[in-house]
Structure formats: structure tokens, C-alpha cells
Amino acid sequence: MPCILKKLARKSPGIVTFTHNEALYGLPARSRKVKNYITQTSGKRWIYGVHLQGSLKHLKEWPLEPWQAFISWSNPKSPFLSNVPTEKLIDINHINLLPEFGFTPRPKIWDIIIISRPSKIKRIQESVFIIKKLMLKRPELKTIFIVPTPSRQAKDIDRSFFELPKRLFSTKEMKNTSFIVSPTESFGNFPVSSELISKLISQSKFLLLTSHREGGPRAIGEALLAGTPCIISKNLDTGIVGVFDNKNTLTIDDNIDLATQQINQGLQNYSSFKIDDKKICRFFSERHNKPIFKAKLSKLLTQMSYQVAGEWYLEDLSFRLCGHGRKFSFQSLDDDRQFFFWFDKITSVNPYDEDGLIYHPESLSDYALRKLKRLWQTRR
């Protein structure tokens, strides 16, 4: 579903964003009913924007539609945006709106922390093999994995993550490795709180990310805001530009043996790494960028001859802009009933309350009871 940024008010339209997945492949692109609604209300009842959050280098240019009043992306100079008028580009997206938790410097407990998903595109298997090779060089290496896990039947799941550790690691190595692996089906899409993740990162020497394609990797921003340098693949394609340097980032080869040597050297020379807090805050911090984001949206309203009025909803944008609910996914990909239910409810309910924005033919409580009854019957 869209993410509401500002409520509709007299002489001031509401502001909502769609994700780029929705704009390219979802209901705004495929449903005639949804297209008609967006076209008829654009610039009147609502101002619509698109939030970009993934790797989009495959696009020759952005397929700009008349209803798209703005495009939100942290690197507006990306070649695929060259056809978009400058006045429609806002150089802030979810990665620039991360919370800070202000932990004081604390002793490092872990050498490496890995925050990922058990997905082939995330190259989680390569991360496991690197840790094993490092442990052969550094027997006392301490590592922590934070890996929220979807259903094992999910698309692109890398089952090797669940099978390798017991086969690969010795008893001592397992003792020095912590796995926080929580099923999202049971505990929500983000079963480990952002505050706890930030605390664990701050207690680690490095964050390791081996993936090649990341639009706005949240873990990178969380690490640098927590004062922890990052280890990334030399082939990482990301929307984060002008941030990485040899003081805050170690770039490694994709060859596992060579990567192991590079990380081992980085651990030996750990004192040479240092985070420029002001630089990192300017790029990633919600505290710094949220007022700027609001000002840019307000300017957009005045340029369209509207008043800046109505309640703003700018909390938790690092998740909401991406359509990432704690309990539900809010991307409008295939159910136009959910789409119109959202627009019908959004002006009268708390926009931070996920339960109130999910369409079910029956009430949510009845729906939950039916799900529980079905689950009980399948287990009898």
C-alpha cells in the first residue's frame, strides 16, 4: 500500500508514495481501475510520489508517468534518472532516515556481525564460508549472525544456510558463533528490534555484507551510525554514493580465500579504521534528514500553488517508505480490493496501525480466529 506522508487538508492535498516495485510491476502499472483512480485524484486530492529502494541500474531511464509528482532516491544523479526533471527529484529515501540510538562507545564483543537473509541474492553461503576460513586463521574469532527467516518454501531461499553450520563448524567454533535466526511467519517481518540490532552492531568490530546488489542496504547505515566499519564486496552495486572510504570500509574480493586474507589483515590493523560521525550523520540520520525531507515536500506543495497544511506522518519512514510493515507487507502488487480499502480508511484511522489498514472480508479478529482454527486442525 502507499505510505502516507501528509494528511489531506483544506486547500492542501495529502501526500503519499508508492514503492518502485508498485510503480513498475504492481497495481499502478497493471490495474485499469487503480490507474484511473490515481489519474483522477493526482494533484487534487493527493500528490503522488515514488520511493526507489532497490538496484535499478538495469533501467535505461525511469518510466515517468504524469501522476508522479516526485521521485525519492538518495542518488538523483543516477543515469537512469536523467530523463526526470530536476524539480521532481528528492535526494532522500529510506536509507537517509535511519534512527540513531546514541550508544556510548562500548567494548567489542564480536569480531564480525552479519545481518542478512537466507537468500541466494544476499550470498549468505559465501558469508558462512568466509567465517569458517577466518576461524582457521583466528581460532578465537567471535561472530554473530542476525538472519530473519521467511518460510523455507519462499522464493530464492538458500537452504544451505540452515544446513551448513553444524556440518561446517567444530564444537568450539559453534561456541564462538551466535545465531539469532527468527521465523518471520511467527514473529513478524522484523523480529529483532532496531535498537537491539544497533546495540549488537556497536559491540562488533566489523559488519560483513557480501551481496552484490543492494539499493539502500539498511545494515550499512545502521553499522556506520553505530560507529562500526563495514566489510563489503568490491562488486557491490548500491545507491549509497560518496560515503565509503578506506577509513570506514574494507572492500574485499569475491574469491573466498582472498577475502579471508583481506579480512584477517583488517582485523590485525583494526586501529586504522575510524568513522567520521558528522559525515555519516549527514547521509544516514533521520534526526538530520527528516526536517530536510519535510521542507522539500512543503516546497513541492507551494510550487503547485497549495498551502502547507494538514498533519504530517513522518515517523518510522525507514520502514514505511519501503512498504515494510512489522506484521504485513504493504506493497500494492495484485489486490485492488486492498488498494481501495487503504484509501477509504487512511483519512480516518491511525496510519501507524497496520491492523486497521489491512483488508479482510471479515473483521480482523474473526480472520485471526479462522487462521488459528485452521492451524489447529492441520496439526491434529
Per-residue pLDDT of the chain (380 residues; tens, 9 = 90+): 789 999 999 999 999 999 999 999 999 999 999 999 999 999 999 999 999 988 788 899 999 999 999 999 999 999 999 999 999 999 999 999 999 987 777 789 999 999 998 888 899 999 999 999 999 999 999 999 999 888 655 667 888 898 999 999 999 999 999 999 988 888 888 889 999 999 999 999 999 999 998 878 999 999 999 999 999 999 998 888 889 999 999 999 999 999 999 999 999 999 999 999 999 999 999 999 999 999 999 999 999 999 999 999 999 999 999 988 888 877 767 888 889 988 998 888 898 888 888 776 654 455 455 555 566 665 55
CATH of 110-283 given 3.40.30.10, 3.30.930.10, 3.40.50.2000, 2.30.40.10: 3.40.50.2000
What are the distances in angstroms from CA 99 to CA 8, 222, 281? 27, 8, 10
Angle at alpha carbon of residue 172, lines to 171 and 176, rounded to 5°:
115
Q: Tell me how far apart the alpha carbons of residues 297 and 290 are, in angstroms, rounded to a whole number.
A: 11
Give pLDDT, residue 360: 67
H-assigned helices in 42-170: 124-137, 160-168
Strand pairing category for 3-6 and 204-209: unpaired
Give pLDDT, residue 379: 57
Give pLDDT, residue 335: 83
Sequence letter at residue 303: Q
The residue among 267, 321, 271 whose CA lies nearest residue 71 is: 321
Q: Tell me how far apart the alpha carbons of residues 165 and 67 are, in angstroms, rounded to a whole number.
A: 49
H-assigned helices in the chain: 20-25, 27-30, 32-41, 124-137, 160-168, 171-175, 184-187, 194-202, 218-225, 256-268, 277-284, 286-303, 317-320, 336-345, 364-379
Give pLDDT, residue 375: 60
Taking every pair of Cα atoms in the chain, the longest distance, rounded to a whole number of angstroms, is 67
Q: Tell me how far apart the alpha carbons of residues 213 and 57 are, in angstroms, rounded to a whole number.
A: 10
Give pLDDT, residue 369: 54
CB 280 within 8 A of CB 224: yes
For the chain, state the CA radius of gyration.
Answer: 22
Contacts within 8 Å (CB) and 24+ apart, 294-301: 296/90, 296/92, 297/5, 297/6, 297/15, 297/70, 297/90, 300/47, 300/69, 300/70, 301/12, 301/13, 301/15, 301/47
Give pLDDT, residue 327: 84
Q: How do the domains of the chain map onto residue ranges?
A: 3-97+285-374, 110-283
Helix (H, G, I), strand (E, B) or coil at 68: strand
